[in-house]
Structure 1
Amino acid sequence: MKRTAPEAKSRTASRAPVVSTSLAAALLCGLLALMPIAASAQGLINTDNQDGSPIEILADDGIEWLRDQRRYIARGNATATRGGVTVRADTLTAHYRGGEGGEKQAIYRLDADGSVVVTSEDTRAVGDKAVYHIDDKVAVLVGDDLKMINERAVITAKDSLEYWDAKQLAVARGDATVIENDNRLVADVLTAHIKKAATGKQEVERIDALGGVHISTKTEIVRGEEGVYEVPKQIATVCGNVKITRGENQLNGDCAVVDLKTGRSRLTGGSGKVKGLILPTQ
């Protein structure tokens, strides 16, 4: 029987949505493959690193997966957390190896850019940029306002600031400075040894100073080649061509012990003689 025009139109109309749905689904899949993960995104990425712990990545403006380049890019107040270490920055780029043929992805490096903060329990390190080497558990920060902040000490640097999580060390390079009340300790390199105190908090226990050591207190200035600062005791020992200057008077020797509580120092033993230049008072 010959179909009428309305019947033909009806059958055509009934088939149209099926074709459109299939096409829309194909287009949606293609778009999703090209788009980054939605804003306020988060991801838990299993890794095949030494301890096998996953890395959690959060970002306000989304996480983009660049599969061909084997990396993730998280933008907008981005954070990456693994174990007890958190790296926060405006943008985080996670580089990984593996991830093919059923092999787990292993993130081996995090590049942080903009307002970087690396946190491990009670210790924070801040800078403009950073690279966190996952396998070695070390973060290297650079920038104009490098700073390591701990309840016991605040250390600044001009060249770089390294935080070694596994070894619990912080290394400041380039005019590295630690300030304690009105006292200041400066050296080319300062290495802070961090330990967990009886209170359960991370605290800086000792700071090793190397190269161009300079201690200034309210009453005197002490210079030397290397030194050790015992933070809880507030006692610094400086050695190597030591010069103690107090007003116009100067003492020279091998080593000196500086009490940062009192601001006073004294020359100690060594193979060389102690020499002093004492100017008479009027």
Structure 2
Amino acid sequence: MMKALLATALLAVLVLPVAPAMSQNQTSENQTSPSTQAAQPVDVTANEMEIFDKEKKAVFRGSVDATRGTTNLKSEMLTIIYAEVKQQDGTSKMDATALEAKDNVTITTTRETITGDWAKYDPQTEKLVVGGNVKLIQGKSILTGNELQADLKTSRMKMTGGRVTGSFVPQ
């Protein structure tokens, strides 16, 4: 039972799609759409993994490296909170309800690399928050600040928390 729960939770873990582009007009032929990415397997490696079945969470610790499609997340710790969701046909499945990465977080896609001290992602609202010494690199353009808030449904991004710096290089 526990292995089934973990496998199902992991299938939903890297819903972490790309952050909104610095320029709305940029597109990439290599970019994977969220629906295509949802059907792809998730590969996770870590030094250890622990499941807290009653709390419905899985915790990966030590050199965590999780990849789904063209999205990769690296950190020292990744916590996946999951819930049982009833389907219309009466069956149940496990869905990730929150992801929390801590310590040396790096999110890499075909378009950008985001680094920070921590990251939180809510798959239901598709909102990503990365905090602590955040750096967003897209091509040769670099944006830095204390906290990055991204709404992946609306492709809106906001850098907050003190001085924000940017170096924008046209492509």
TM-score by length of 2: 0.69
Residue type at the aligned position of 2:168: I
Cα contact 1:237–1:255 (8 A) shared by 2: yes
Cα contact 1:183–1:217 (8 A) shared by 2: yes
Cα 1:236–1:180 change in 2 (3 A) is: farther
Partner of 1:52: none
Select which of 230, 235, 242 maps to 2:134.
Answer: 242
Deviation at 1:265, TM superposition (A): 6.9
Residue type at the aligned position of 1:215: I
Cα contact 2:72–2:107 (8 A) shared by 1: yes
Partner of 2:99: 207
Cα 1:233–1:186 change in 2 (3 A) is: farther
The reply on whether 1:156 has 2:44 as its aligned counterpart is: yes
Cα 1:233–1:184 change in 2 (3 A) is: farther
**Which whole-Å CA distance do the structure 2 matches of 1:187 and 1:168 have between them?**
21
Partner of 1:268: 159
The reply on whether 1:123 has 2:15 as its aligned counterpart is: no
Tell me which stretches of 4 or more aligned residues in structure 1 moved more than 6 Å. Answer: none
Partner of 2:54: 166
Q: What is the identity percentage for the equivalent residue pairs of Structure 1 and Structure 2?
A: 25
SS in 2 for 1:219: coil
Cα 1:265–1:184 change in 2 (3 A) is: farther
Aligned length: 139
**Which whole-Å CA distance do the structure 1 matches of 2:76 and 2:153 have between them?**
24
Unmatched tracts of structure 1, length 5 or more: 1-84, 86-117, 125-147
Select which of 111, 115, 121 maps to 1:229.
Answer: 121
Deviation at 1:186, TM superposition (A): 1.6
Cα contact 1:149–1:155 (8 A) shared by 2: no
Cα contact 1:157–1:173 (8 A) shared by 2: no
Cα contact 2:119–2:130 (8 A) shared by 1: yes
Unmatched tracts of structure 2, length 5 or more: 14-41
TM-score by length of 1: 0.44
Deviation at 1:268, TM superposition (A): 2.7
SS in 2 for 1:152: helix
For the pair shown, the structure with the greater C-alpha radius of gyration is 1
SS in 1 for 2:111: coil
